[in-house]
Amino acid sequence: GAVVSQHPSWVICKSGTSVKIECRSLDFQATTMFWYRQFPKQSLMLMATSNEGSKATYEQGVEKDKFLINHASLTLSTLTVTSAHPEDSSFYICSTGGGFTTEAFFGQGTRLTVV
């Protein structure tokens, strides 16, 4: 199956700074990648759909200016949390692949702590 690598696995940053999370598809080209966020004891919530070569599609309630997504190549999508605040502390996961009859492949996730 496809391998998705996410980096870093965990990061601690100061409030007001920006953090970039990378998601790489290692063995196939992904025109679409998905970014999820998981708060403690809650489900994985889709934040946005990252489209190679075009703008990301954000879910309702997700601030596009705060969570910048760039999908400049078929193997790399990045999520930048800008001006991070403690309430942005969460577990962020990317995935690729997936359709109605195919499974998705997930990165290992990034635990972000904003202090």
Q: Looking at beta carbons only, is 14 or 61 nearer to another protein?
A: 61
Question: Quick check: 111 and 85 in contact, CB under 8 A?
Answer: no
Q: Looking at beta carbons only, is 57 or 89 nearer to another protein?
A: 57
Q: Looking at beta carbons only, is 20 or 109 nearer to another protein?
A: 109
Alpha-carbon separation of residue 109 from 16, 17, 53, 71, 101 (angstroms): 22, 20, 24, 18, 24
* In the complex, least distance from residue 32 CB atom to another protein, rounded to whole angstroms: 8
Lookup: tokens for 44: 């994985």
Q: Which residues bind another protein (CB under 8 A)?
A: 1, 4, 34, 36, 38, 41-46, 49, 57, 93, 95, 98-101, 103-109
